[in-house]
Chain A
Amino acid sequence: MSESSLPLLEARDVSKTVRGPEGTLDILADVTLAVHAGESFAIVGASGSGKTTLLGLLAGLDTPTTGSVRLDGHALEAIDEEARADLRRQLVGFVFQSFHLLPALTAEENVMLPLELEGRDDARARAREALTAVGLDTRRRHYPAQLSGGEQQRVAIARAFVHGPRVLFADEPTGNLDQRTGRHVADLLFALNRDHRTTLVLVTHDATLAARCARGVELMEGRIAAPAAIT
């Protein structure tokens, strides 16, 4: 099967319902979408529209109440959490709005983490390469608290692609950054998408950032309102 004919990531009729103090709450309903390998894809919407929940389902961090999510041909709802963890380790990289670096680890050690989980011996060397790629080779021994917000996010990006994932999920990656730094970080993400053909799935409410993606969807109260305004 060719890469273009089968999507790398696919959601079909996905719904997510949670039980709250005031009864059940539908967070997502009937979401269907497909992302192909090497694409950049934006998920946009207002706060509370279900963007982050959708990202979690697509990345295999959670399972849908109904419907199906397939990542590289694997139906995520059909496999257990351990198998999903294996898939994440092999195929997925993450960038978070709040960076989520471990404060007691240096930049280099933070980047080494996914490689250490795989038990790779070349973790340090590859972490250095990744840090060099994001322009932080001189800051590798710094701790997160000693880095600016932009630098921390670049370390997070290095950690996200150091093990060569096929999909990079980014949740509001520029949300905590000023405009200029945010732009640099976004440039970096799109460069990775372009140079390594890493599929980029981006959650944002920043229209400019979303506009840089090849495709996308807009969520409204848990449903796809319309394909995002993508050029």
Chain B
Amino acid sequence: MKLLRLALRTLRREWHLPELRTLAASLLLAVVALGVVATLASRVEGGLVASAAELIGGDAGVSAPQALPQPYLDEARQRDLTVTRSAGFPSVAFAGERGQLLDVDATDAAWPLRGALELAAHGVTSAGHGPAPGTMYLDHRAMVALGLAVGDHVQLGGLDLAVAAELVSQPDGGQLVAMAPRALMNLADAQRAGLLGVGSRARHRLLVAGAPAAVRDWLAWAKAQALPQGAELITPAKTQQRMRNAFDRAGSFLRLTALLSALLAGVAIALAAQRYARRKTPEIALLRALGTARTRVFGLLLATLGALALPTLLLGVLVAWGLAEGAWQLAGAAFVHVPTALPLLPALGAAAMGLAVLAGFALPPLARLAEVPPVAVFRASMARRVRRVDVLYLVPALVAVALLWNQSGSAKLAIILAVSLSVVAVLAALLALLLLWFARRIAPGAHPALRLGLAALARRRTLSTVQATALSLGLVALLLLAVVAPALLEGWRRELPPDTPNWFVLNLQDDQRTDFTDRLEKLGAQQLNMLPLAVGKLTAINGTPVDQLHFADPGAARWADRQLRLSWTGTLPPSNKVVAGHWAGATPARAEVSVDTSWRDMFGLKIGDRMRFDVGEGSLEATVASVREVDWSSFRVNFFLLLDPAHAGSLPHTWLASFYLPHGHAQALAEVSRDYGNLSLVDVDALLDRVREIVDQVGGAVRWVLGFSLLAGALVLAAALATSAAERRHEAALLRTLGARRGQLRLAAACEFALLGLIAGLTAALGAFGAGWWLARGVFRLDDFVPPLGPLLGGALLAAVVIMLLGLAGTRKVTRTSPMRLLREG
């Protein structure tokens, strides 16, 4: 208690010291940056889960080729979860002379549990639930294809059903490509009509919703069961893969920026603590001489630091909450339907991390300070270096790595940043030492100002090296954020240019291609791309029928049992990368197939393996010639299996077209599609817009966090310059006494800071270039990205100039130091 009182008194006395204020400001900044980003990320994650639930129609569930056994329902009800059952299957509906294949969902009245089923009838749009017995809902395409209106009757599975409403939108599990027009009917009707009987191609679903903990508990129970054959769990994490990828990337960007801000703050804390320790050395020597035990001294230092840290942490948490709430209010449009409460825990976690940064970076100088021997009261030089404290200098490095690990959520991101920052630190230190060595050699022949500047750098060898290293680390973080991150974002944005295909057409026949293409072009469609699409089955691998093969991965068994989509092309599609083997090209000597990496892993395939496919009446055996890594978030049509056109061209197929149609032409397109009853049109504009929105919002958020980083960078700069301020003042006073002119001191300081800035700037530019290159490939999957070297070097030079100017501004006071100071000091 006494110690705490003493610590509080010390803090009150010393609060005016710039290093303590820097320490507090750095800590505040670290907590705010980490807290805001963690809070926002958690909220976005909450929004994503809720949004995924809206798409699924429930919080979680199971899908299976047959109806789920009763225990799945009972277990859910025991946990107070609401339950709904549904089944999806293709079926042909008839209206008069017209027939149309439909994607039918048969649901009970409770469906959907989450999200909205939007229905339109007589010009009024309303939310609803599964259709009542004897009725069904049809989407616009189905209505057009069958020539129906609300109130008409339709035949399905031998039942006569009334069209009760037009189906506008439904929770659809985030399916990008629906094969056919959609319809909703009552589950009991479907059962009555025998549509779900043995041999049907129905996919049954059981969805649950309720308290998150109960849902998790039920999912855990379901996972522990031996799921029926072919059954799969439905979870939010599995849905919305494209959105998920966008959010994951967004999260990486934000965490990267917050992390760099926190590390910058750490560097500033380390510098400030170092300076504080040096200032306190005589006082501690005196305390020790007066009989204060080392442990008590250390306790006092820790208590002082704690007394400083606690209110700062509290303030940081409050500011982080406030800013996160503000940012959510400003930019929460992405989850406008999904209100999520302000999560309180992430900011508290950030406070804990801030405390770790403070302890990690401030501990070594303070521990050394506690080791000051009493004899140092006579002569500072008698304060011998205590080697056993040296090991503590590993603590900041460990804290930094732990923080990187914890925050990045990606080992790759953590490793890339840790390695890059370490390389930059070592490089900056080596460059600084090299320059200092060089300075000593060239100094005698140099211009007097440069000579004095070089001499000044050389004089404070250790400090200069520390300054150069700290400034380099600060700058590399700033360059990464200010130059590399926007360029990365731009690269990401370029992946989705304004004319990214926003419509897909399925089921186009050979004889419809020319006519349909002409009509699309008249509508203003661009980027039209057509690929053949064959539906077949995998029957054998290396001559062994697949039903005789055992696959460790259950996914493989499911695929082997399922209809596959096959395509062929002579050129490697964009967003595909060959990672093994060679791309077959248009006319290989024998039939070749290129498989996606997930297929290679599932089936244990290797180059040279033979795969047999049955398509329609024919079959084809192709050799695995290459393995492709496919970017499934690219909004392009991609296939797990790509055959060569020379051998696959004759397989029975339809065409799949993708194209970009400017907004406002959907109605015209719907009219065109009426003339081709067999076509299925899929609009992905909404999804595209959503991803673009995310990119923009991330851009905005990165700029926010960049603001913190700039502040942290300024703190590092101030702390780095402050480390040598005392020496600088003493030196200036001495040089003034010896007759140095102010101009001489200023010119020397300008040379000194320009050199320091150049070392830091150039090292940082190189570091940011390397880290950016690596990050783009390792984390953000932008393989063509080259960090902009010009702006990086420009930024580095600008930084050098800023360092010089700020250094000069900081030394203004120093050059005005009265030479009388020395006489007063004795």
Q: Does chain B have a CB within 8 A of A34?
A: no
Q: In the bound complex, what is the Cα–Cα distance between A182 and B60 (angstroms)?
A: 90
- Cβ B734 vs Cβ A102 within 8 A: yes
Q: B456-498: contact bitstring with A at CB < 8 Å (1 yes, 0 no)?
A: 0011110000000000000000000000000000000000000
Q: Does chain A have a CB within 8 A of B82?
A: no
Residues of chain A lying within 8 A (CB to CB) of residue B731? 102
Q: Does chain B have a CB within 8 A of A187?
A: no
- Cβ B741 vs Cβ A61 within 8 A: no
How far in angstroms is the closest Cβ of chain B from A56? 5
22 A-B pairs (CB sep. < 8 Å):
A52-B823, A52-B824, A55-B823, A61-B818, A62-B818, A62-B820, A85-B739, A85-B742, A88-B738, A88-B739, A89-B739, A89-B740, A97-B826, A100-B822, A104-B460, A104-B461, A105-B455, A109-B455, A114-B738, A116-B452, A117-B740, A159-B738
Out of A100, A104, A117, name the residue touching B459 (CB < 8 Å): A104
For the complex of A and B, list the 4 residue pairs with the smallest distance between their C-beta atoms, beginning with the closest: A89-B739, A104-B459, A119-B448, A88-B739
How far in angstroms is the closest Cβ of chain A from B373? 16
Out of A96, A117, A123, name the residue touching B826 (CB < 8 Å): A96
Q: In the bound complex, what is the Cα–Cα distance between A190 and B738 (angstroms)?
A: 21
Known A82-B741, A105-B455, A171-B823; further 15 A-B contacts with Cβ < 8 A: A61-B823, A62-B818, A81-B742, A85-B741, A85-B742, A87-B739, A89-B738, A89-B739, A89-B740, A97-B826, A98-B825, A100-B822, A113-B734, A117-B448, A123-B444
Which chain A residue shows the least CB distance to B739? A89
How far in angstroms is the closest Cβ of chain B from A126? 13
Q: Does chain B have a CB within 8 A of A92?
A: yes
Q: In the bound complex, what is the Cα–Cα distance between A109 and B735 (angstroms)?
A: 13
Residues of chain B lying within 8 A (CB to CB) of residue A92? 739
- Cβ B825 vs Cβ A94 within 8 A: no
Which chain B residue shows the least CB distance to A97? B826
Q: In the bound complex, what is the Cα–Cα distance between A123 and B445 (angstroms)?
A: 11
Q: In the bound complex, what is the Cα–Cα distance between A56 and B461 (angstroms)?
A: 32
- Cβ A61 vs Cβ B820 within 8 A: yes
- Cβ B818 vs Cβ A102 within 8 A: no
Residues of chain A lying within 8 A (CB to CB) of residue B461? 104
Which chain B residue shows the least CB distance to A203? B823
Q: Is the interface of B mostly helix, strand, loop or mixed?
A: helix
Residues of chain A lying within 8 A (CB to CB) of residue B444? 121, 123-124
Q: Does chain A have a CB within 8 A of B364?
A: no
Most B CB within 10 A of own CB, among A88, A123, A172: A88
- Cβ B823 vs Cβ A117 within 8 A: no
Most A CB within 10 A of own CB, among B381, B460, B731, B820: B820
Residues of chain B lying within 8 A (CB to CB) of residue A116? 448, 451-452, 455
Chain B: residues with CB nearer than 8 A to chain A? 381, 444, 448, 451-452, 455, 458-461, 730-731, 734-744, 818-820, 822-826
- Cβ A105 vs Cβ B739 within 8 A: no
Residues of chain A lying within 8 A (CB to CB) of residue B825? 98, 100
Chain A: residues with CB nearer than 8 A to chain B? 52, 55-56, 61-62, 81-82, 85-90, 92, 94, 96-98, 100, 102, 104-105, 109, 113-114, 116-117, 119, 121, 123-124, 145, 159, 171-172, 175
Residues of chain B lying within 8 A (CB to CB) of residue A90? 739
Most B CB within 10 A of own CB, among A88, A104, A113: A104
- Cβ A56 vs Cβ B735 within 8 A: no
- Cβ B737 vs Cβ A88 within 8 A: yes
Residues of chain B lying within 8 A (CB to CB) of residue A121? 444
Residues of chain B lying within 8 A (CB to CB) of residue A117? 448, 452, 735, 738-740, 744
Take A96-B826, A124-B444 as given contacts and tell me if A113 and B738 are in contact as well, using a CB distance cutoff of 8 Å: yes
How far in angstroms is the closest Cβ of chain A from B365? 19
- Cβ B740 vs Cβ A61 within 8 A: no
Out of B460, B737, B740, B742, name the residue touching A94 (CB < 8 Å): B737
Out of A96, A114, A175, name the residue touching B823 (CB < 8 Å): A96
Which chain A residue shows the least CB distance to B731? A102
- Cβ A100 vs Cβ B734 within 8 A: yes
How far in angstroms is the closest Cβ of chain A from B194? 94
Residues of chain A lying within 8 A (CB to CB) of residue B734? 100, 102, 113
- Cβ A85 vs Cβ B736 within 8 A: yes
Which chain A residue shows the least CB distance to B452? A116
Q: In the bound complex, what is the Cα–Cα distance between A102 and B825 (angstroms)?
A: 14
Q: In the bound complex, what is the Cα–Cα distance between A55 and B36 (angstroms)?
A: 59
Which chain A residue shows the least CB distance to B449? A119
Q: In the bound complex, what is the Cα–Cα distance between A105 and B741 (angstroms)?
A: 21
How far in angstroms is the closest Cβ of chain B from A159? 8
Which chain B residue shows the least CB distance to A96? B822
How far in angstroms is the closest Cβ of chain A from B527? 66
